[in-house]
Amino acid sequence: MILKICEVGNPVLRKRARSLSADEIRSKDIQDLIGHMRDTMRDAPGVGLAIGESLQIAVIEDKAEYQKGLTAEQLSERQRFPVAFQVIVNPKIELFAPADVSFHEGCLSIPRLMAMVRRSRSVRVICLDEHGDQRVIDAAGWYARILQHEIDHLNGRLYTDIMQPRR
C-alpha cells in the first residue's frame, strides 16, 4: 500500500515524533507500517522516508539504480554508494565532524524545491532496527546526509530550516 506523503504545511512535519518500545516495533501494525513506508519510498522514488504519523521511524535505501546517471567523479565527490534497505527507530545521532559539507537537498515533503544545505560528513546513529534490536550505524558522505535529513524530520525540522541563503 502506498501512503500519502505529508507535504509542507502539514503540522505533523513540525512535531517531534514519539519513541516506540521494542514490543511496539514488533507488532503487526508497525511491521505493516514499515512495509508501507518501504513501498511508498520506492514508489516516490526517494532515498528516505520519515512517517507522517509522528512516530520515530524512518526507512532508508539508496539503490545503485538511483546513481546510474552520475559520473564516477560525481559519486566520489558526494561519497555516494548504494545503501541497502534499512529501518531506523528512535535514532540518536552524533556528528563526527562540523556541518561543513554543502550540497543540494530535496525532500518528498517539499516537492519541486532544492536548496544548498550544510551537513556533517560523518555521523554515528544509535537506534533500534525493524526487529527492535539495537543497532549502531557509522556513516559518511551521502549516507550520513540521508540519515541527518530523516532524523531531522523525526524531530520536527525541515531542511529549509537550515538551508543556506541564496548568495
Q: With residue 146 as reference, give the H or E element that holds it.
A: helix 141-154
Write the CB contacts of 128 (distance below 8 Å, at least 6 apart in sequence): 20, 22, 25, 88, 89, 90, 134, 135
Catalytically active residues are: 150
Asked whether the beta carbons of 55 and 21 are under 8 A apart, the reply is no
Q: In angstroms, rounded to a whole number, what is the distance separating the alpha carbons of residues 118 and 95?
A: 12
Asked whether the beta carbons of 66 and 60 are under 8 A apart, the reply is no
**DSSP per-residue codes, 52-117:** TTSBSEEEEEE-GGGGTTS-HHHHHHHT---EEEEEEEEEEEEESS-EEEEEEEEETTEEEEEEEE
Q: How many CB atoms neighbour CB 48 within 10 A?
A: 24
Paired residues of 83 in beta bridges = 62
